[in-house]
């Protein structure tokens, strides 16, 4: 075979692939009639929401479907060889040195009981490569892990998330595979870390000539990193083509929706409102009024020199101080949305907890409508809680699985002794309407609801007591982009209708741009920048903010589209 022929032949070809899962309720067709190809050295991204079958399609290629899944139609051809129903032995041969994988969650993908070096070494050994200490160190440092020789002797729990992901990348590429399947390789990481890691991955695969199959839910990221984008929706490939063309001219309705609501691509707050039916003029007319109101009630919430010090247990029974939040000051005007952004460990969630009165304040003050939160006791605290309500990140964890939806939403009303049971029922039904959930759902339990529906329930519960301030701690981070857009719209509408004030804690700057009036940027416990959203985005004052902004996937594409 001549060289040119070999280069024209796809490295991976998926033809009419069908994958089914056997579940308790019968067979579910997760992937149907799926087609895509990856050429040698090419980067192809599969984009879709969770449950779209994007990971399943890719994992089938190396025979890593869960035990209840199987390929029931079509073919998977790797390098001219049909591997659809290859034996376990053949698959073991392919894995590692022909097809490598970088998995999604760096926290759970390294075995906690083995040293990182050991886990790299066994990969080299299994694929017949030299596996001396130097080789392990070399492989790890190539993935950008600093101080690799020492790090190889540590356990995964001694690594940060970014470092673990580097270790996983080094494992995935250690045997120089021809195809690398990168399954959401950075979605669990902070944006800045995400960017350096993706850059590094790109440099490495370019150098090795590795083809990459990138699986992601983020269209912006896909367009930025891949030459070709494959869009999957409900188990079908709905559209495929060159990245930029797909962004400029999406054909399938789902792709169009995805392009519209990709937070990393939407550039104006107005666009969200427009999607929800509010006219741009309305919104513009709205703003002067709210800002006037804001001027009148400037001191709705005032945070002054807020500090939180935790005592960490050190060696030999001594304790060390750790300052999680260091002299942070900002104000939240009534009826507006203030976002606190930062990477994990920046102290943003600690601010939220103190705001909710869930965590004692070490020093400084939070003045809520003229009351010092730190001084509230007993009854006053109870009354304060009624006016300030939280919505948390994880809609799976923050709803009691033993409570049905009605009981969940009614509980705060009951606790605060609001109304008779008839009145409460009326209120719950009203709330269900406000968050656009059908009344029929009241008797259901949280495990019967989707992530977006659960987050709506959490919002309804937060609104039950007619609060004035709602603290949203990463309230949309766990949701798919489209659902995320719906929830953000809902929050914007509710703010408009009920005059709510939001404190929005998030790591996602793209979300900030869509929802916030003011932004506070936090880094390692301190406030590095604060200002209106537009000024922070258009004219960032500190390097850190610039870094964060540059790291939004697809940031460079906004102008291109």
Q: Which residues bind another protein (CB under 8 A)?
A: 62, 64, 66-67, 88, 92-97, 100-101, 103, 105, 108-114, 119, 122-123, 126-127, 155, 157, 168, 171-172, 175, 313, 315-317
Q: How far is the CB of 408 from another protein (least distance, A)?
A: 29
| Of residues 172, 252, 211, the one with CA closest to residue 40 | 211
List 302's β-bridge partners, or say none: 331, 367
Residues 6+ apart with CB under 8 A from 178: 11, 40, 79, 98, 99, 210, 211
- For another protein, the closer of residues 3 and 113 by Cβ is 113
CB of 103 or CB of 390, closer to another protein: 103
In the complex, what is the shortest distance from the CB of residue 476 to another protein, in angstroms, rounded to a whole number? 24
Cα–Cα distance between 553 and 225 in angstroms, integer? Answer: 9
481 phi and psi angles, rounded to 5 deg: -55, -45
Nearer to another protein, 125 or 426 (CB): 125
Q: Residues 506, 538: contact at Cβ < 8 Å?
A: no
**Nearer to another protein by C-beta: 88 or 497?**
88
> Residue 125 CB, nearest distance to another protein (Å)?
9
- CA 76, 79, 80, 82 torsion: positive or negative? negative
Q: From CA 312, how far away is CA 559, in angstroms rounded?
A: 47
Nearest in space to 76 (alpha carbons), one of 52, 57, 101, 103: 57
Looking at the Cβ atoms of 112 and 401, the one nearer to another protein is: 112
60 or 472: whose CB is closer to another protein?
Answer: 60
- Smallest separation, CB 64 to another protein (Å): 6
As a whole number of angstroms, the distance between CA 149 and CA 132 comes to 12
Helix (H, G, I), strand (E, B) or coil at 283: helix
Dist CA 40 CA 211 (whole Å): 5
Q: Could you tell me the smallest distance in angstroms from the CB atom of residue 92 to another protein?
A: 6
Which CB sits closer to another protein, 319 or 363?
Answer: 319
- DSSP character string of 417-464: T-S-HHHHHHHHHHHHHHTT--GGGGG--GGGS-HHHHHHHHHHHHHT
**Pairing label, strands 43-47, 228-233:** parallel
d(CA 92, CA 72): 21
Of 66 and 438, which CB lies nearer to another protein in the complex structure? 66
Shortest Å, Cβ 157 to another protein? 5
- Comparing CB distances to another protein, the nearer of 3 and 24 is 24
* Least CB distance to another protein at residue 38 (A): 17
Spell out the residues 6+ positions from residue 307 whose beta carbon is closer than 8 angstroms to its own: 323, 325, 326, 327, 328, 361, 362, 363, 364
Comparison of 126 and 208: residue with beta carbon closer to another protein: 126
How many angstroms separate the Cα of 48 from the Cα of each of 53, 222, 322, 342? 8, 10, 41, 26
Q: Whole-angstrom Cα distance, residue 144 to residue 391?
A: 37
DSSP states along 529-542:
EEEEHHHHHHS--S
Q: How far is the CB of 89 from another protein (least distance, A)?
A: 9
| Least Cβ distance, residue 113 to another protein (angstroms) | 6
- Structure-block tokens of residue 300: 């709705």
Least distance in angstroms from the C-beta of 24 to another protein? 11
Smallest gap from residue 188 Cβ to another protein (A): 11
Q: How far is the CB of 139 from another protein (least distance, A)?
A: 12
Strands 518-523 and 526-532: antiparallel
What kind and span of H or E run contains 139?
helix 133-142
C-beta separation of 482 from 303 below 8 A: no
Q: How far is the CB of 141 from another protein (least distance, A)?
A: 19
**Cβ atoms within 10 Å of 281's Cβ, excluding its own:** 8
Helices 133-142, 161-173: crossing angle, 10 deg rounding: 110
Please, which residue, 77 or 94, has the CB nearer to another protein? 94
Cβ contacts of 154 within 8 Å, gap of 6 or more: 115, 116
């Amino acid at each position: 075979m001549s060289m040119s022929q070999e280069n024209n032949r796809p490295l991976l070809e998926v033809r009419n692939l069908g994958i089914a899962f056997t579940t308790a309720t019968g067979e579910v067709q997760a992937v149907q009639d799926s087609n895509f190809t990856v050429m040698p050295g090419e980067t192809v991204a599969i984009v879709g929401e969770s449950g779209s079958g994007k990971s399943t399609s890719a994992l089938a290629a190396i025979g890593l479907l869960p035990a209840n899944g199987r390929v029931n139609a079509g073919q998977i051809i790797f390098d001219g060889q049909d591997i659809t129903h290859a034996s376990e032995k053949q698959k073991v041969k392919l894995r590692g040195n022909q097809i490598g994988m970088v998995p999604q969650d760096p926290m759970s993908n390294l075995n906690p009981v083995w040293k990182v070096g050991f886990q790299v070494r066994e990969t080299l050994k299994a694929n017949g490569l030299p596996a001396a200490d130097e080789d392990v160190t070399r492989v790890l440092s190539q993935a950008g892990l600093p101080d690799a020789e020492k790090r190889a002797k540590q356990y995964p729990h001694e690594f940060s998330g970014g470092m673990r992901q580097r270790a996983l990348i080094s494992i995935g590429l250690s045997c120089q595979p021809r195809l690398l399947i990168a399954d959401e390789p950075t979605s669990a990481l902070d944006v800045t870390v995400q960017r350096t890691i993706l850059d590094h991955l790109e440099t490495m695969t370019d150098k090795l000539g590795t083809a990459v199959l990138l699986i992601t839910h983020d269209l912006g990221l896909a367009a930025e990193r891949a030459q070709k984008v494959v869009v999957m929706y409900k188990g079908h490939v709905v559209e495929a083509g060159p990245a930029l063309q797909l962004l400029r001219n999406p054909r399938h309705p789902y792709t169009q929706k995805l392009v519209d609501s990709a937070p990393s691509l939407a550039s104006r707050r107005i666009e969200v409102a427009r999607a929800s039916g509010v006219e741009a003029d309305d919104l513009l007319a709205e703003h002067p009024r709210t800002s006037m109101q804001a001027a009148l009630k400037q001191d709705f919430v005032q945070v002054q020199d807020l500090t939180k010090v935790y005592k960490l247990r050190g060696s030999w029974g001594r304790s060390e101080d750790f300052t999680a939040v260091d002299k942070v000051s900002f104000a939240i005007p009534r009826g507006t949305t203030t976002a606190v952004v930062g990477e994990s460990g920046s102290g943003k969630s600690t601010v939220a907890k103190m705001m909710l009165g869930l965590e004692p304040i070490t020093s400084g003050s939070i003045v809520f409508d003229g009351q010092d939160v730190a001084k509230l006791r007993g009854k006053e605290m109870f009354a304060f809680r009624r006016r300030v309500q939280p919505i948390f990140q994880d809609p799976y964890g923050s709803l009691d699985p033993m409570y049905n939806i009605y009981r969940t939403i009614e509980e705060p009303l009951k606790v605060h002794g609001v109304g008779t049971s008839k009145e409460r029922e009326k209120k719950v039904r009203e709330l269900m309407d406000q968050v656009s959930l059908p009344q029929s759902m009241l008797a259901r339990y949280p495990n019967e609801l989707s992530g977006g529906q659960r987050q709506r329930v959490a919002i309804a519960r937060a609104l039950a007591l007619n609060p004035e301030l709602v603290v949203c701690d990463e309230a949309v981070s766990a949701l798919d982009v489209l659902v995320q857009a719906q929830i953000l719209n809902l929050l914007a509408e509710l703010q408009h209708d009920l005059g709510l004030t939001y404190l929005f804690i998030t790591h996602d700057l793209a979300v900030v741009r869509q929802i916030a009036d003011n932004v506070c940027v936090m880094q390692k416990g301190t406030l590095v920048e604060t200002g209106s959203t537009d000024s922070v985005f258009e004219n960032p004052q500190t390097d850190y903010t610039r870094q964060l902004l540059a790291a939004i996937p697809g940031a460079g594409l906004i102008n291109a589209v």
